[in-house]
Amino acid sequence: MEFTLKTTIQYDVYAPTTFVFNIQVLKESVNQKIKSETLEVSPFLPYKEYSLKGSKTRFIKLQATEFIPFTINYQAQIDVSYKWVAKKKLLKNTPIFNLKNEIIPFLTPTRNCPSDKLMEFAFNLFGHITTDLEKTLAINEWIFNNIKYVSGSSDANTTAYDTLNIKEGVCKDFAHLGIALCRALNIPARYFTCYASNIVPPDIHACFEAYLGNSWIVFDPTRLANLNQLVKIADGKDGSEIAVATLFGNAFCTYMNIECSQTNGESDNTYPSEDFFISY
């Protein structure tokens, strides 16, 4: 499938500020091919693209030293070919001892996903379930049925523990809670940001991935996105690692517009398939 992306973000700057943006799609992925892309800053401000060691996520580091507004525009055309994974391949649990070394960090608590605080709750609700896949499905279902989606109900400091207690949040909070509950049950899980073509109004969306049967399988406890119509931006231990924008200084976002449209290829609204699951 092919997608067209357009992102526009505007900031007013009140003091010298350095920004870190994470809006470009994942590069060097077997499931995504960048056909074309442009990134422009108006008026021009110095910026650099970088990636962390061992990561394919692309960040933009931008410096604003004058007290002027600026706009960053990103446009791209992306080919996406996600992978269907058969349910029967995911039903066998992988012992922690046999996990790849790079998967181990996705078992431990992080700032937004304090899984150590949720262990008793997770085991009481889901500990009796036999397979990690069925546990993850039950977690996903429980969050959808028990957490209310409320725009503006959280901020960057809201944790999965907070979301569990207040019973409301936005997509990042749903994802953080899914991650924390999976990790509390010794299931590796990570944060997943993407462009989603069917979100209304269009926005950068957050899901979570669980490591099952040696594959990262995507779940969306909000059920707002069609899982076969996503364009991956990044993955990380939680949202603090791959925030859309992080700033060091004094500035305020005055406008954000996200567009993601599917331009060709077949799609359906299957969520989730009873026999197959999606990996990006």
Q: CA–CA separation, 32 vs 230, rounded Å?
A: 10
CATH number assigned to the domain comprising residue 19:
2.60.40.2250
pLDDT tens for the chain, residues 1 to 280: 899 999 999 999 999 999 999 999 998 788 899 999 999 999 999 999 999 988 889 999 999 988 889 999 999 999 998 899 999 999 999 999 999 999 999 999 999 999 999 999 999 999 999 999 999 999 999 999 999 999 999 999 999 999 999 999 999 999 999 999 999 999 999 999 999 988 887 889 999 999 999 999 999 999 999 898 999 999 999 999 999 999 999 999 999 999 999 888 666 555 556 788 999 9
* Shared domain check, 234 and 191: yes
* Shared domain check, 94 and 9: no
* Shared domain check, 118 and 218: yes
154 three-class SS: coil
* Shared domain check, 88 and 47: no
* Shared domain check, 166 and 198: yes
> Minimal CA–CA distance to 146: which of 119, 164, 124?
164
* Domain limits for position 234: 83-241+268-279
Cβ atoms of 154 and 173 closer than 8 Å: yes
The two three-digit tokens of residue 192, written as one number? 């997943």
> Minimal CA–CA distance to 169: which of 187, 199, 146?
146
* Shared domain check, 198 and 75: no
pTM beyond 0.85: the answer is yes
